[in-house]
Chains A and B, each alone.
Chain A
Amino acid sequence: MVQRLGYVWSVFSLLFLSACVGSSPAISESVPTEASSGAQVQASGELTVFAAASLTAAFTEAAAQFEAQNPGTKVIFQFAGSDQMAEQILQGAPADVFASANTKQMDKVVEGGEIAHDAAEIFAHNRLVVVYPSDNPGNLNSLADLAKPDLKLVLASPSVPVGAYALTFLEKASALPEYTESYSSTVLANVVSYEDNVKSVFSKVALGEADAGIVYTTDVSPESADKVKTLEIPNELNTVASYPIAVTKRAAQPELAAAFVAYILSPEGQTILAKYGFVPAND
């Protein structure tokens, strides 16, 4: 009985989520291709892809290409924090493909039985970077300046991959003599908000409301380059994020889903990802 109710609850929670949580999980549809149906392959129909927020631009372009190559297909995205989507899939959200910003959230879904063991493949890597508004209100010149008093720093919540990586960066830096031991705790005292996804971190910095934020290099798109400047985080302090992708067990469109995953892993898909600053999978 309770289990039954639990199931009903999850359906309602999904309805509720898709309807109400307007602020973060942007559900965007790529433009359906109305191309001639002459060269129909067996892969056709609607494909639902849950992808990490940092993949928004790259996957939108990849999907447009994929749709053009497979007339009759339409890719529907939900871009949000990986942790949130992992939870949604475990609660029965209808995703055909899950692309996470770290292996931890993917493992969570695998353990929950919604994705087969060994199904996930790494398709890209990403790095962290510090961003600040171009007029530099916090007078930031080096990574050490992140510890300056009264600096307004915005991070992603430690529950999302990029937030956890940011904490790792601070810890690693604290171990080095040039940053001193208290570096991490001093920087964390400057945090004014832990945002629920990386795009919100970037927006608040681009708006100039925060003095600095830690995001992925891929979040700094050419269009936003005039609003923000970046401080590189050296390799020894940086965490390379691995992005896994997999078809879910309950995929409504398993063949189409597999075709999409194959496309992302193909040289063509990898080129698109590289264009948006991702490091290719086999590098």
Chain B
Amino acid sequence: MLVFLTLPLLALLLRIPLVDLLSYLLRENVRQALALSMKTTALTVLVTILFGTPIAYLLARRSFRGRTLLDTLIDLPMVLPPSVAGIALLVAFGRRGLLGQQLSMWGIELAFTQSAVVLAQVFVAAPLYIKAASTGFMGVERELEDAAALDGASAWQVFRLITLPLAWISLFSGIVTTWARALGEFGATIIFAGNFIGRTQTMPLAIYQGFEQDLNVAITLAVILLAISFGVLFLMKQLVGQRLN
């Protein structure tokens, strides 16, 4: 199993000499795809934290009617094939879409824009953060929060000084997995945001197009993506490991 999981990645690395790799890295379209991926995934993470944290907290702290339903709905984008996510986004936010029609009347058109790239990423990746953060919040003992509240701390102070520091590791690993998933997002992006170099062509789209035009470019981009993902995930695990010890 271990061989099966690592061999394809190793094959990618062995396919191209390191020197060639560096020269491809300087190419304009490679750089643009890389920059676009970094920018959009950063925005995705920001949006996810901003809007995902309250939902995660709600799921962890309140029991209400329809909680299981909400929980399941949040799981859905993670299990959907990305192409389904892309079509769904298009029929919702496209200019002929359910909400898009209204938006378009106000002069906002999302399809084929960078906003569409971010929306596609948030749609498929935010649930990962919400799940992780919610588990983190659940792990914080109620009594600690109650004690602080009893001592006169406001709800915000309890959250900021007690809940957040204790749930931090889960939140952090949720952020990283969401970011990694957003970085790899392909299917929903190509359908909803289209493919345009420098505007909506992220790394995975550039890899796909590279596969059709020049296999070496595709493999170079793939190796870069792999290196970044490995670096960030590895660093995260070290950080989390240190915290736990």
A residues neighboring B (CB under 8 Å): 2, 5-6, 8-9, 12-13, 16, 21-23, 81, 83-84, 87, 137, 152, 154, 157, 159-160, 191-196, 200, 204, 207-210
Contact = CB atoms under 8 A, between A and B. Distances in A.
B77 interface: no
A87 B186 CA distance: 20
Contact of A157 (B186, B195, B215): B195
Contacts of A200: 191
B196 A194 contact: yes
Interface string B3-30: 0000110111011000000000000000
A191 B196 contact: yes
Contacts of B83: 22-23
B156 to A, nearest CB: 43
B82 A193 contact: no
Given A9-B15, A192-B196, A209-B96, A159 B213 contact: yes
Interface of B: 7-8, 10-12, 14-15, 81-83, 86, 90-91, 94-96, 111-112, 186-187, 190-191, 193-197, 200, 208-209, 211-213, 215
Contacts, number: 87
Contacts of A192: 111-112, 194, 196
A83 B213 contact: yes
Contact of B212 (A9, A12, A13, A159): A159
Q: Which 3 A-B pairs have the closest CB atoms?
A: A193-B194, A9-B11, A192-B112
A81 B15 CA distance: 25
Q: Give chain A's interface secondary structure class.
A: mixed
Given A5-B14, A208-B95, A23 B86 contact: yes
17 contacts: A2-B14, A9-B11, A12-B7, A81-B212, A83-B212, A83-B213, A157-B209, A193-B193, A193-B194, A193-B195, A193-B196, A194-B195, A194-B197, A195-B195, A196-B212, A207-B96, A209-B90
Nearest to A133: B96
A154 B190 CA distance: 13
Contacts of A207: 90-91, 94, 96
A189 to B, nearest CB: 11
A200 B195 CA distance: 11
Contacts of A196: 190, 195, 208-209, 212
Contacts of B186: 23
